Amino acid sequence: MERDPQAHWLETETALHYARAAVRVGLWASERVFLDRYFAKDQRILELGCGGGRVALGLLRSGYADVTATDFSPIMVSLAKAVLADHDEAWERCVAQQDATALTYPDASFDRAIFAFNGLMCLPSRAHRLAALRSIHRVLKPDGILLFTASDREKGANAAYWAQEARPADVIPGDRWHESDTSPVFIHSSTEAETREELAETGFTVIECPLSTAVASDGPLVREFAGETRFYVARKA
Ligand SMILES: C[S@@+](CC[C@H](N)C(=O)[O-])C[C@H]1O[C@@H](n2cnc3c(N)ncnc32)[C@H](O)[C@@H]1O
């Protein structure tokens, strides 16, 4: 029977892993660089795939006042609420259940959006990624900015691993089930050209897209949690 690529995110053990990361790992040094550069403290920020609340907690503690953190997984939403409420009871209201591919917010609701730590690449297919990008594009204000990361299969630390992979002809390049601390997780690793094409197709213009290692020196906890990835900063065209 086919495995469901989204089932991993509905498991309690997975959600606990991300809730622990919210407390132990926090915002990455590289994420802070882009938040400082592109996100203002008074802007309306939408987070997609918030997991256990790692980014939302970091944003709220850093003084970003208007944060809406969302995830499609009910257990992630519950744990993110608990993590945020542990710091400030009022922050619990910042979390909502939303599927990134079908957001229900009105058009042009948010100044900024963030889909941290390869969340977009955890969607089951290119069609789902395009649906999410279109949905995010719709709820962003004109000139709104989306920040996200994608594991790169062509450049940087992961390139050698992908180069030696023997790919069955029927498997889409970059699609792969990876071992994790809990159950196997489906992730698509992209090339820069491929992700640029998906952004262009959905109405975004890339501002910059460096590898995380070129942005800041992330500490050992972050390196263990996330490894190297590529940041994308894209503007709603
Ligand atoms: C790799 S985790 C990252 C969690 C968190 N952003 C972090 O950095 O700790 C990916 C997250 O995307 C969420 N996700 C997967 N598919 C989604 C979808 N269709 N809509 C919204 N969130 C989704 C998962 O539930 C999970 O919380």
Tell me the pLDDT tens digit for each residue of 84-96: 999 999 999 999 9
Residue 50 falls within a domain, yes or no? Answer: yes
Atom of ligand 1 nearest to the CA of 187: 1
pLDDT tens track for 143-175: 999 999 999 999 999 898 888 777 777 789 999
Residue 223 falls within a domain, yes or no? Answer: yes
Residue 119 falls within a domain, yes or no? Answer: yes
Q: Give how many domains the chain has, as a whole number.
A: 1
CATH classification of the domain holding 53:
3.40.50.150
Residue 1: its pLDDT value, please? 59
Query: Helix %, strand %, coil % for the chain, to 5?
Result: 45, 25, 35
CA distances from 33 to 137, 170, 212 (A): 23, 39, 10
Which residues approach ligand 1 with their CB closer than 6 A? 6, 9, 18, 21, 48-51, 54-55, 71-73, 76, 99-101, 116-119, 122-123
Residue 160: its pLDDT value, please? 87
State the Cα–Cα distance between residues 175 and 39, nearest whole angstrom: 31
Residue closest via CA to ligand 1's atom 22 equals 49
Cα-to-centroid distance, 120 and ligand 1 (Å): 8
Mean pLDDT estimate for the chain = 96
Range of the domain at 215: 7-236
Residue closest via CA to ligand 1's atom 14 equals 49
Atom of ligand 1 nearest to the CA of 21: 9
pLDDT tens track for 184-211: 999 999 999 999 999 999 999 999 999 9
Residue 161: its pLDDT value, please? 84
Cα-to-centroid distance, 234 and ligand 1 (Å): 19
Closest CA to 50 of 105, 109, 94: 94
pLDDT tens track for 45-74: 999 999 999 999 999 999 999 999 999 999
- Find out whether 120 and 131 touch, Cβ atoms under 8 Å: no
* pLDDT > 70: percent of the chain: 99
